[in-house]
């Protein structure tokens, strides 16, 4: 195509291209979701359908955007890990972050009526995004552990807070009662006052959500013999497990491999 005299303006463009052989984490987070969840009557402390909506959007991103090998979600946030060997978008920061955040947001609005047929979307939600580049697998693992610990701390606190509020306490009194308490105190309070065993609450609340490609056994019928056979297939799956200890990673060496 012929160049116009205006082409020179391209020279003003600047961009960040991430170093090769480093892990990229794209973290998106709902903007003003404190208000959004209140306006849309989310169940407290955890609206299960809202978490499932987040997971559905994250799966869409996971399957559509190249180079993503792992995703971790809790509350209104999701972290997408781009594999150190990925060349997707030539590792350009602006392209990666803007396409992930816009696809996630449009999926959120797209799937909303399916997940919440009884709840009208009252205003358009938005998400922000950032990318952090981690030079080693060990630091990447620490990043993921940091997010899962955050999920645990927030969930334990929110579970206590909303249990107190639902038992008739004012929000101010509930906050005051929890001030300065340790994890052990909170577990004890839930159990002795309300008969709640924290460790028995759904793991999606306690551990967050993990999206990976993993081997699953599927049954299929052999056309010739009619026999039912089991086959191992690679599928995108959502699980709610501990990712801080080594076990998860040792069982799935292909994820970061």
Among 27, 46, 129, 131, binds ligand ATP (CB under 6 A): 46
Q: Report if residue 79 touches ligand ATP, rule: CB under 6 A.
A: no
Q: Which stretch binds ligand ATP (CB under 6 A): 7-15, 25-33, 105-113, 216-224?
A: 25-33
Question: Binding site annotation covers 257?
Answer: no
Q: What is the C-alpha to C-alpha distance for residues 72 and 78, in angstroms, rounded to an integer?
A: 6
47-76 footprint of ligand ATP as x/- string (CB under 6 A): x--xx-----------------------xx
Is 214 labeled as ligand-binding?
no
DSSP string computed for 193-231: HH---GGGS-HHHHH-EEEEEEEEEEEEE-TTT--EEEE
Question: Should residue 86 be labelled a site residue for ligand ATP when binding is judged by CB under 6 A?
Answer: no
CA pair distance 56, 39, nearest whole angstrom: 22
126 binds, among ligand ATP, Mg ion, none (CB under 5 to 8 A by kind): none
Residue with tokens 């922000």: 128
Cβ atoms of 158 and 190 closer than 8 Å: no
**Contacts of 191 by beta carbon, 8 Å cutoff, 6+ apart:** 197, 198
Whether 107 contacts 60, CB under 8 Å: yes
Identify which range of 32-40, 108-116, 163-171, 187-195 contacts ligand ATP by CB under 6 A: 32-40
Backbone φ and ψ for 44, nearest 5 degrees, come out as -110, 145
From the CB of residue 13, how many other CB atoms can be counted at a distance below 10 Å? 7
Whether the CB-CB separation of 156 and 185 falls below 8 Å is answered with no
Contacts (CB under 6 A) with ligand ATP, residues 133-162: 158
Please say whether the beta carbons of 58 and 211 come within 8 A: yes
* H/E element, 74: strand 68-74
Residues 46-85 close enough to bind Mg ion by CB under 5 A: 75-77
14-53 binders of Mg ion (CB under 5 A): 21, 29-30, 33
| Candidate segments 34-42, 84-92, 182-190, 224-232, binder of ligand ATP by CB under 6 A | 34-42
Element containing residue 191 per DSSP (H, E): helix 183-194
* Least distance to Mg ion, CB of residue 136, Å: 6
- Return the residues of window 213-242 that contact ligand ATP according to CB under 6 A: none
Q: Which of 5, 34, 223, 232 binds ligand ATP (CB under 6 A)?
A: 34
Binding site per annotation, positions for GTP: 29-34, 75-76
Write out the residues near Mg ion by the rule CB under 5 A. 21, 29-30, 33, 75-77
Binding site per annotation, positions: 29-34, 75-76
Write out the residues near ligand ATP by the rule CB under 6 A. 29-34, 37, 42, 44, 46-47, 50-51, 75-76, 158
């Amino acid at each position: 195509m012929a160049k116009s005299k205006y082409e020179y303006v391209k020279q003003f463009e600047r961009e960040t291209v991430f170093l090769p052989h480093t892990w990229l984490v794209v973290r998106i987070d709902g903007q003003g979701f404190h208000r959004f969840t209140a306006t849309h009557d989310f169940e407290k402390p955890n609206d299960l359908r809202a978490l499932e909506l987040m997971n559905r959007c994250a799966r869409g991103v996971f399957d559509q955007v190249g180079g993503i090998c792992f995703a971790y979600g809790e509350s209104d946030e999701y972290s997408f890990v781009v594999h150190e060997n990925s060349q997707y978008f030539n590792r350009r920061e602006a392209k990666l972050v803007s396409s992930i955040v816009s696809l996630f947001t449009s999926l959120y609005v797209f799937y909303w009526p399916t997940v919440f047929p009884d709840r009208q979307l009252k205003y358009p939600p938005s998400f922000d995004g950032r990318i952090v580049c981690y030079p080693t697998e060990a630091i990447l693992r620490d990043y993921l552990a940091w997010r899962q610990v955050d999920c645990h701390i927030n969930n334990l606190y929110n579970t206590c807070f909303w249990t107190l509020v639902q038992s008739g306490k004012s929000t101010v009194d509930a906050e005051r009662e929890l001030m300065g308490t340790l994890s052990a105190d909170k577990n004890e309070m839930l159990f002795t006052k309300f008969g709640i065993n924290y460790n028995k609450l759904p793991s999606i609340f306690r551990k967050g959500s993990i999206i990976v490609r993993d081997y699953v056994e599927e049954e299929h019928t052999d056309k010739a013999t009619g026999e039912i056979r089991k086959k191992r297939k690679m599928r995108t799956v959502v699980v709610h497990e501990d990712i801080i200890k080594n076990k998860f990673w040792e069982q799935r060496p292909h994820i970061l491999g």
